[in-house]
Structure formats: C-alpha cells, structure tokens
Amino acid sequence: MKLIIAVVKPFKLDEVREALVAAGVEGMTVSEVKGYGRQKGQTEIYRGAEYQVNFVPKVKIEVAVDDAAAGKAVEAIKAAAATGKIGDGKIFVLGLEDAVRIRTGESGASAL
C-alpha cells in the first residue's frame, strides 16, 4: 500500500478530487496548509511596515491506495493540479505499512 501526499494550489482541489474519483480512489483527507518552494510569498504592508509573508496557502490531499493503483493516482493528480506556473505543488509517495477500517476492523488492502 502507498500513502500519497499531494500539496496543490487551493483552487485545484475540486479538479484533483474528480480526477482521483475517476481513477478509482474512493476516499481522501484534505487539509488547508501553508507552504512554499520556489514560489515566493507576497509582501504585505501595514502602516508603512513591510512584512515578507513567506508562506502561501495550499491544500494538502492524502490518499491511501493499493500499490497497483498508486501510479494511476499520481498521474491523475499531476494532470489535474498542473497549471504550468511556479507553485503548482508536489506529490510525495510513502510506503504505507497498514490501514484499518474502524467500523469493521478490516485491515490491509481491504481497508482501503
């Protein structure tokens, strides 16, 4: 099993969700985060005092998938989240040791 973590631009969330559903992914967890890579933050000025705000709002999507489905899911996210501009985000793929469905107690691939 794999845990895929994608950090994308907030307005891309719906597109990515639809692409993942089309790719057969049945659930995901989403959080609002801040971050930066090569995309620089904004400069905000309050009362003539400048603040360099480094962190840009992003959305983090986490999905747990079968090894076989991982590649397809990554491709789906990549296609949906891209704009071609700096700040599109990153996808991380982690090895997932176990997953448990709390209601039934199932574990492993059948919990996904």
Beta bridge partners of 58: 33
Cβ proximity to other proteins, 45 vs 68, nearer residue: 45
The only residue of 53, 79, 94, 100 in contact with other proteins, by rule CB under 8 A? 53
| Smallest distance from other proteins to CB 28, Å | 25
Q: Is 46 an interacting residue with respect to other proteins (CB under 8 A)?
A: yes
**What CA dihedral angle connects 40, 59, 80 and 89, to 10 degrees?**
30
C-alpha span between 13 and 42 (Å, rounded): 22
Residue written as token pair 């448990």: 100
Cβ proximity to other proteins, 17 vs 41, nearer residue: 41
Residues that bind other proteins (CB under 8 A): 44-51, 53
